[in-house]
Structures are given as C-alpha cells and as structure tokens.
Chain A
Amino acid sequence: QVQLQESGPGLVKPSGILSLTCDVAGVSISGTNWWSWVRQTPGKGLEWIGEIYHTGSTNFNPSLKSRVTISIDKSKNQFFLKLSSVTAADTAMYYCAREFSGGHSFEYWGQGTLVTVSS
C-alpha cells in the first residue's frame, strides 16, 4: 500500500533553512498524482505549503511562495521541501501527502514530523 514518511532535522535556527524529505513507498512517484507538503500548528491550523508533479511542475501557497522550494528525485522515489528564512512562526508539524486523483484532496499522508524553530 502507499506509504509516506517525512524525515529531517527537528530543530532549525531562526533565519535558517528548514529541509525535509518525504520517502514514498508502495507506488511510483512518477505516476499521475501530485505530491504536497502541508503543515499544522495549534494557532493557524492546517496550511497547504505547495505541490509538485513528477515532471517538476510546482505550485505554491502565495503566502509562502517567496521562501519555498519543492523538488523531486524520481530515482529515489522522494520529494523534498526547503523553507528559507524561518522564524518561530514556522514551528509546526509538517506532513507530506499524495493528492487524490479524484479531485484535489489529500488521500495519503505521512505520519508527520515536528519542526521547531529556536536558537
């Protein structure tokens, strides 16, 4: 079955770069689905960060677009998130997810990884 697993540093310094990897198992990342990053905080709730297709096409949340890079490695069945110039407001649980073919929702999720921004 489809499984996603986030990994990366749990602590990032302010003004630094948050970098996460999503390992995808059970399905090829080169299929017909888009792949997304979503974060969750107690204050702002669930927030979509951006998405990538296996061709490398991307779309981003306008509120984060200037700081976000999403990339993909088809050979390793992975995709990645980089968020630059982080502040305490970027402290959140970060999820990777596969979008549902039936229409712009998120069918499969990783378990999430908590990233704290602090010096």
Chain B
Amino acid sequence: EIVLTQSPGTLSLSPGERATLSCRASQIVAGKYLAWYQQKPGQAPRLLIYGASNRTTGIPDRFSGSGSATDFALTISRLEPEDFAVYYCQQYGDSLFTFGPGTKVDIK
C-alpha cells in the first residue's frame, strides 16, 4: 500500500499570501493518479487537481499542482478568504486508493 504523508500539518497564513502544500508518497505514484481535494467543515471533499497538475472544471487558476514520482505539491498563489480549509492528496496504485492525512490552511 502506498502511504501518503502531507506537510505541514497546519499552515497559518494571511489572505493574499502564497501557500505551498507538500504530499510525499512511500512509493512512486503514476503521475496521472495523484489528486488534490479541498474540504471545508460540514462538506464533502471537492476535487481540485487530477493527474498531478490538471485543474478540474471551475477551479480558479490560483490553484496549481506539480510534482512527480514521490513528491508532489499544491500551490495556492494568493489566498482568498474562501481558501482556508483542509487539503488532502490522494493516489491510486495497485488497485487501491489512499489519501494523505491532510494539511489545514488557517488564517494567521
């Protein structure tokens, strides 16, 4: 099973700042099988990025994904008030989906 580790656990930033979230895998992940989600309290996760770097329809271009193999990143170029949430990475490999533990982006 591929284990995903996310860092930092919490990121405290101000609106307008840049956020960089890390997702590291215990084994190589096929690039097109790495996704990022945003989750707000009381809501289901929302798919932001698939295939490591492709934004889903309707996702603002301030969100970008990058990386390959075992190291991936989600960058939010300028935080808007609605971006403060928990972010999860997810991979698919060996017929199994796994998620990272999440990074909480909160207001400084």
Residues of A within 8 A of B50 (CB): 100, 102-103, 105
A36 CA / B97 CA spacing, docked (Å): 10
Interface of A is mostly: strand
Closest to A110 in B: B44
The answer to whether A111 touches B96 (Cβ under 8 A) is no
Q: Judging by beta carbons under 8 Å apart, are B45 and A100 in contact?
A: no
> Does A61 interact with chain B (Cβ within 8 Å)?
yes
Tell whether, in the assembled complex, residue A47 and residue B44 are in contact, meaning their CB atoms are under 8 Å apart.
Answer: no
Segment of B16-24, B73-81, B98-106 in the binding face: B98-106
Q: Tell me if A45 is interfacial: C-beta within 8 Å of chain B.
A: yes
Nearest chain A CB to B2 CB, angstrom units:
12
Task: Specify which chain B residues have a CB less than 8 angstroms from the CB of A100 in the assembled complex.
Answer: 35, 47, 50, 56
Interface residues of A (CB under 8 A from B): 36, 38, 45-48, 59, 61-62, 95, 97, 100, 102-107, 109-112
Can you report 27 A-B residue pairs in the complex whose CB atoms are below 8 A from each other?
Answer: A36-B97, A45-B99, A45-B102, A46-B45, A47-B99, A48-B96, A48-B97, A59-B95, A62-B96, A95-B44, A100-B35, A100-B50, A102-B32, A102-B54, A103-B32, A104-B32, A104-B35, A104-B92, A105-B92, A106-B35, A106-B37, A107-B47, A107-B56, A109-B44, A109-B45, A109-B46, A111-B44
